[in-house]
Homo-oligomer: A and B are copies of this chain.
Amino acid sequence: MSVRKLTSIKDVAKAAGVSVTTVSRYLNRTLDLPLPTRTRIDEAIKSLDYRPNPHARRLSRGRAETIGLVVPDISNPFFATLVAAVEEEADRRSLAVSLHATLNRPGREITYLQLIEHNHVDGLIFATNHHDDGLLAPLINRTGKVVVVDEDVPGALVPKILCDNENGGYLVGQHLAANAHRRVLFVGGSPEMLSAHRRRQGLSRALNERFGDDAELTAYAGDYTVDYGREAARRFLREDRPGSAIFASSDEIAIGLIEVFKETAVSVPEDVSVVGFDDVSPLHLFAPPITTVRQPVREIGKRALEVLLETNWQDPGSFASEELLPVEIVVRNSVAPPAKP
């Protein structure tokens, strides 16, 4: 509270009767000292309650000991879980996490990417949820030290940690096919988004395996939000139900769908089957419990930090990679065979 000056390395050096250099090097283990000297320094540190000034250290070393985390929206349960996983892992390694939400404000992603260039953070874990308009990839390639998670940024030559979207779609397709759904509506992001594209492809593959050319796949594209789920549900009803089952490409969308179906007395799964994606909300308590694909969210976060720290960023080109983490389908009660198949 008072403006007492904090103890600096200089005070420690004086108290221990050595030079500042010695203390610094001892602390950074670049100098072996004989026991007596060591003890003197240790005691000085303890009695003065010395702790290195992080800003000075960062300026001097040119590193921030901080990693940046950019996500679309923290309050979304999916990203909240991702953030939690990254923070936990960073804390284990004594790194601070600087958190940034883009909230779909254009230009924000770019602003945050520039944090790296100016040494604000040592690296960035980056999640977007919309299609790159062409600015992101070059910037990412220029700045480096970025790990892309959850949604691909095409053209970015950096490590990417994604879930196995194709297989997720395929598992849903199989489950729907097993329940005799031949006509399916896919509600997801625009096809330029790799996640949406792959999920849809997996879905399509499974449906075709079962029904061949008789499979009918319709798609609506929009945001991964509750709002868009509502909109999609209304459109689905307005357009006379282009499908006996709906595969929502996120739980949020599924929640929106279900809200509207509830209001309009369309019952799930009797009138229409619904499957979600992510499994981060308490879908098992819904009426009915919602079948969904579980993403290994925490794994994604953890792995992203590992990769960020393990990658040798000196050797550009060496590190463009894509790691696919496995998904699983969690079957609950929102899928039933259609009334008239």
* Residues of chain A whose beta carbon lies under 8 Å from any beta carbon of chain B: 1, 6, 51-56, 58-59, 64, 66, 73-75, 77, 80-81, 83-85, 87-88, 91, 96-101, 103, 114, 117-120, 142-144, 255, 258-259, 262, 281-282, 284-288, 313, 316
Contacts and interface: CB of A to CB of B under 8 A. Distances in A.
B100 A91 contact: yes
Given A73-B84, A255-B282, 6 more contacts: A1-B143, A51-B117, A59-B59, A74-B83, A77-B77, A258-B285
A288 B287 CA distance: 7
A66 B121 CA distance: 13
B84 A101 contact: yes
A334 to B, nearest CB: 11
Contact of A99 (B56, B83, B144, B313): B83
Contact of A119 (B55, B84, B88): B55
Contacts of A54: 118-120
Contacts of A55: 55, 58-59, 64, 119
Nearest to A290: B285
Interface centre among A144, A262, A286, A288 (most CB of B within 10 A): A286
A44 to B, nearest CB: 17
Nearest to A75: B84
A80 B75 contact: yes
Contacts of A99: 83, 87, 97-99
29 contacts: A1-B142, A1-B143, A6-B117, A6-B119, A51-B118, A52-B118, A53-B59, A53-B118, A53-B119, A55-B64, A59-B59, A74-B83, A75-B77, A75-B80, A75-B81, A75-B84, A75-B85, A77-B77, A77-B80, A87-B99, A87-B101, A88-B103, A97-B98, A97-B100, A255-B282, A259-B285, A281-B281, A285-B287, A287-B287
A1 B145 CA distance: 8
Nearest to A3: B314
Contacts of A119: 6, 53-55
Nearest to A108: B91
Given A1-B313, A98-B98, A100-B91, A74 B64 contact: no
B258 A1 contact: no
A87 B87 CA distance: 15
Nearest 5 interchain pairs by C-beta? A287-B287, A80-B80, A75-B84, A74-B84, A55-B59
Interface centre among A87, A114, A117 (most CB of B within 10 A): A87
Which of A58, A66, A81, A84 has the most C-beta atoms of chain B within 10 angstroms of its own C-beta? A84
Contacts of A100: 87, 91, 97
Most chain B beta-carbon neighbours within 10 Å: one of A51, A59, A316: A59
A1 B144 contact: yes
Contacts of A84: 73-75, 101
Nearest to A79: B80
Contacts of A144: 1
B101 A91 contact: yes
Nearest to A54: B120
